[in-house]
Amino acid sequence: MSWLNVDADTARQYALAVLVIGVVGILVVLKFVSSLVSKLLLVAIFGGMSWLGFSQRDDLSTCVTRITERARAGDVSDLTCSFFGRDVSVRIPSLPQEG
């Protein structure tokens, strides 16, 4: 499977990895970089990376919830969400039969 053609669960894991790498990057920069300007620049870059990973993961979770609710109502016309500008497929588990 190509890393560009993923489902929503895998995309969430990618976003979590981006978030963790950003936080670890901030910690490494704060520990080992001595120049204040370099430290501020690198913290801004890794902080932005962490924020982007968090926001994409949150948007993806919201989209999956919305699609799951629509699927329960019987609408399965669009089962894709956007992740970093690319469409990812959402797998809907078997919905329990009501009644």
20: confidence class by pLDDT, cuts 50, 70, 90: very high
pLDDT at 94: 61
Give the max Cα distance, the chain: 66
pLDDT tens per residue, range 60-80: 999 988 988 888 888 877 788
How many CB atoms within 10 Å of residue 10?
15
Write b or e for each residue in 18-30: b if 16 or more Cβ atoms lie within 10 A of its Cβ, otherwise e: bbeebbebbeebe
Quick check: 84 pLDDT over 80?
yes
pLDDT at 98: 46
pTM to 2 decimal places: 0.74
CA distance 27 to 9: 27
Smallest CA-to-CA distance from 78 within 93, 63, 97 is with 63
Question: How many alpha carbons fall within 13 Å on the CB side of residue 94?
Answer: 2
Quick check: 43 pLDDT over 50?
yes
Per-residue pLDDT averaged across 83-98, rounded?
72
